[in-house]
Structure 1
């Protein structure tokens, strides 16, 4: 009886150990179980899209992918345009495991630093330079969309002012920008600039550009955290605010007398109609502009000084703004299914068509033969092709912090209620308090 009982206990322990060995590190059920996302022999995955404006295209992409991969079932979830609730957090809180999540690039070194798996060995890395690395230096972010920002200009208005064809890259000094504004003004446009001052625009877009003076913008962030980077004495940091002073001045800016306000829509209408010529924004602004006057828009780099050979004066910021990350808490089978979806986007003809032609996203992958028809997106693609881009500087900061903590100081500076020295101190103090 004792031998029988002992044998039973040994067998019971062996079963328990086998069960433990079969689970993944996250404690998720093993692949193949119903809880793991396997149904009727299929692997089920959830993929999220934070770009609400391409929700229908995202759904169709999932259908086309499933048609090519009948053993994978995809639930494609999109957030609404302007939705502030984080889609990944919302689904996770409801008990669902998102296999493939769209997020901002800074998230994998900040909020979701422990979320993603290592994608460094994936084939698509050979076809892009935009794979986003985590805090350990491993590629964890698949670059879904490339976007860029600079001085958006109405081509018709500018060409009329200069008397013919206009090369935006010819405006490669601060003095040349001022001369252009004078010409636009002389052509009959009272206010050449319509400068909107939302927190995201003045802070984590415009005010992070100084980071691009380093080959790796992250090195300046580390120096700021260490308290060894002096903003007030830095020529590039000061140069961007010299340019901002020009762009927001009462002489050239439509809102110069009262520079702070809810001017986003009005600025787009003004530049779209040709009542003004220039605003600071990104390729996403085209949807607002095209509703007014069609497709005659491009980008001028933001000049930082009067040295025409300074690379900062001759390039526009561009880089991945939305990345796809595979959840390490998903099962191995789900992770493999998600990898197939990423490869489908890069290498399948329908995947390539979805990304560029349907979603109008600038592809990060050099093998994609398609080109967006959105003229601002096209300008970004051309700049990439011509090696006229700088890193997308917002990707190197905590976007939420810059928008909520530092933006008010930038706005006070624009309204001349805070000195440049005070602004430098506010940014430096913020970084010294970062862990």
Structure 2
């Protein structure tokens, strides 16, 4: 989420902090349970009930700890926590998007978890997920749920057209034309959002920035080639034109789940919604493959997800209780429960039980995690997609040339990372 907060939102944030913050000792007594607050940023309708049930299980097993559960809308949580932690106190535990974790750690808002019981099972977690919970050599979050992008496809349409899941973007373009000829459905519909275009950069061996060299690379020759490939996939037989409306995400999703388009790039957060569509009443019809590779010969997709982090400003008793809570919520058993109820991907290998993998969506996404690339250790990294969202929309809509749009993005990104060279 972008920085900056309106006065009304600031008032709301402070009000929420006053009623549900962990920096205060409110609600604790000398001989009573330690009260901690957890800000959960999950979907309040589809995911939160599972987390509330787990909180009750934790409290039943830890009579000396009381957890105040607060569901904070995801699109508000970053600014709310930033305000609360920098002012009067914050929740003791935060469900922190992976891009927020290094930014909050840099400000000193999060407790280092290395050597604590929260990370006692560190070896069970996938190494790339631990890596992106780190900043300046220390770990500030325990991976809670993870996600990445994959090419999801309609097996029946692919089989009818006689094509296989494409290995490269060129293969995808050819397959889309064949699917259109043989089935009448579009073969592929791409997104204009920067996050979804990230795989094109990885496929050509580049990124928006080179953190090691402290250089902005979004307008480099490699990036232009990658974004050129992305742009080409909006024009051609079986390739759906770019949707530049505010409802583009919903349009693409609806077309895919109802069999009007054979493939899209999408994440596992849509697994349950895939199954609600007419094309996937038979769950086995959902195909999941690694995103196609670019000219580097390697495929890569961005890694998303959330960590559980502990507020550094809480007192010792609250921090100790929070560490116990984080360990419980990220245990193999809890992650198995979350996966089964919410259809999200566990972050530890021992949570991929036979029952979890019986869901073809989860099993399919597990197979593509090897291509997921952790985000660089750069607090500002996630904010770099903001300028690109604006420019890629204009490029795809024909309002700007590729060169002009990427030049504009470079200028905007330079303001976010002023110590990086162009």
* TM-score, shorter chain, exceeding 0.5: yes
Please give the alpha-carbon distance, in whole angstroms, between the structure 1 residues aligned to 2:80 and 2:357: 27
Query: Which of 212, 220, 223 is 2:210 aligned to?
Result: 220
CA gap of 1:144–1:192, structure 2 versus 1, over 3 A, is same
Q: In the alignment, which residue of structure 1 is the partner of 2:230?
A: 244
Q: In the alignment, which residue of structure 2 is the partner of 1:391?
A: 373
Please give the alpha-carbon distance, in whole angstroms, between the structure 2 residues aligned to 1:261 and 1:253: 20
CA gap of 1:177–1:196, structure 2 versus 1, over 3 A, is closer
1:412 Cα offset (Å)? 1.3
Instruction: Give the structure-2-normalised TM-score.
Output: 0.78
Query: Which of 56, 60, 72 is 1:63 aligned to?
Result: 56
Paired residues in the alignment total 381
Please give the alpha-carbon distance, in whole angstroms, between the structure 2 residues aligned to 1:244 and 1:41: 58
**8 Å contact from structure 2 (residues 268, 344) kept in 1:** no
CA RMSD of aligned residues (A): 3.3
Asked if 1:345 corresponds to 2:332, the answer is no
**8 Å contact from structure 1 (residues 211, 221) kept in 2:** no
Q: In the alignment, which residue of structure 2 is the partner of 1:100?
A: 93
**8 Å contact from structure 1 (residues 360, 372) kept in 2:** no
1:266 Cα offset (Å)? 2.4
Select the structure of larger CA radius of gyration: 1
Query: Which of 245, 259, 280 is 2:265 aligned to?
Result: 280
1:327 Cα offset (Å)? 0.3
**8 Å contact from structure 2 (residues 102, 377) kept in 1:** no
Please give the alpha-carbon distance, in whole angstroms, between the structure 2 residues aligned to 1:76 and 1:86: 19
**8 Å contact from structure 1 (residues 106, 397) kept in 2:** yes
Q: In the alignment, which residue of structure 1 is the partner of 2:277?
A: 292
Instruction: Give the structure-1-normalised TM-score.
Output: 0.76
Any residues of structure 2 matched to 1:299-378 within 5 Å, and which? 299-305=288-294, 310-312=297-299, 317=301, 319-347=303-331, 349=333, 351-370=334-353, 371=356, 374-378=359-363
CA gap of 1:317–1:334, structure 2 versus 1, over 3 A, is same
Structure 2 counterpart SS, 1:291: coil
1:220 Cα offset (Å)? 1.3
CA gap of 1:372–1:77, structure 2 versus 1, over 3 A, is farther
CA gap of 1:181–1:133, structure 2 versus 1, over 3 A, is same
Asked if 1:48 corresponds to 2:45, the answer is no
After superposition, give the CA deviation of every residue in 1:322-381 in whole Å (9 maximum; x if it has no partner).
Answer: 1111000111121111111222234463x2433322233211112224325554332121
Structure 2 counterpart SS, 1:110: helix
After superposition, give the CA deviation of every residue in 1:199-249 in whole Å (9 maximum; x if it has no partner).
Answer: xxx21332475257669x7971454x545x473322xx2443233123211
**8 Å contact from structure 2 (residues 40, 95) kept in 1:** yes
1:420 Cα offset (Å)? 2.2
Please give the alpha-carbon distance, in whole angstroms, between the structure 2 residues aligned to 1:280 and 1:369: 23
